[in-house]
Amino acid sequence: MIVDHTTSAPGPARWKALLQNAHLIGLIKFVLPLALIPAIFAALYLTEPYQQFLVLSGLLVAYFVPPAGKETIIPIAILMGYPWWLIMLVIFLLDVAVSLFVVWNFDLALKIPFIGRLLESGMAVARNYTESQPWLRRLSTVGLILFVFFPLQGTGAMNGSILGRLLGLDKSRVFGCVCIGSFASSLIIALGADVLIDIYQKDPALGIGLLVLIVVIILAGVVGWRMRDRKLRGRVPR
């Protein structure tokens, strides 16, 4: 008896043909980043007590709503008792999903009503940064990492991915820069908040003093940055 093996598992040629199917690849690139977000929430649901899962989910949803950012969500989560590494990892993975979606689907996403408006506002922010910060174009890779790293209003994974596109970087480099900037920023904020909270619990006066010092340094940096911004914009010919 002769057995026909032609209908068994797909061979290399069939897999190659599937991977060359533009419609299939486009569908995967659209669905995969979006699937990562519910997968993250599902993993938290399976590993965290239900009440803690609900609270943490609320914080993560707030992360996507301006003006909230990792500089506020991460310390709040640590104050509520969540491990620093958990909230750092979750925020980073959310940034990965957002960046991957924008990098792979930018042109298509612009046509989606709600997402398109978000991307258009992000493009406006990115254009303002490239016009007021000419060094971003000269140091495109490092500049993009720093753009994502500093937790200022208007920065982050989505706008960082848009900025990378405006700078003319290839998709893999944009994604890599966003991942590096997001991971470094999330790690430093999480570790810093955890250490500061630990110091406060042992010595409240010292903890408050350090917090005030950090706030003053940040405010001074933001004010200095904006003053420099205005000077640079004043030099741009009208």
pTM for this predicted structure: 0.78
Q: 184 pLDDT band (50/70/90 cuts)?
A: very high
Q: Which residues of 46-61 are buried (b: 16+ CB within 10 A; e: fewer)?
A: eebeeeeeebbeebbe
* SS3 (DSSP) at 1: coil
**Domain presence at residue 202:** no
Percent of the chain with pLDDT over 90: 34
39-46: long-range contacts, CB 8 A cutoff, minimum separation 24: 40/90, 40/93, 40/94, 40/97, 44/90
Domain housing 65: 26-187
**Domain presence at residue 204:** no
Spatial CA neighbour of 174 closest among 147, 134, 135: 147
**Domain presence at residue 194:** no
Domain count, the chain: 1
Q: What is the pLDDT of residues 57-73, one digit of tens each?
A: 999 999 988 777 888 89
**Domain presence at residue 196:** no
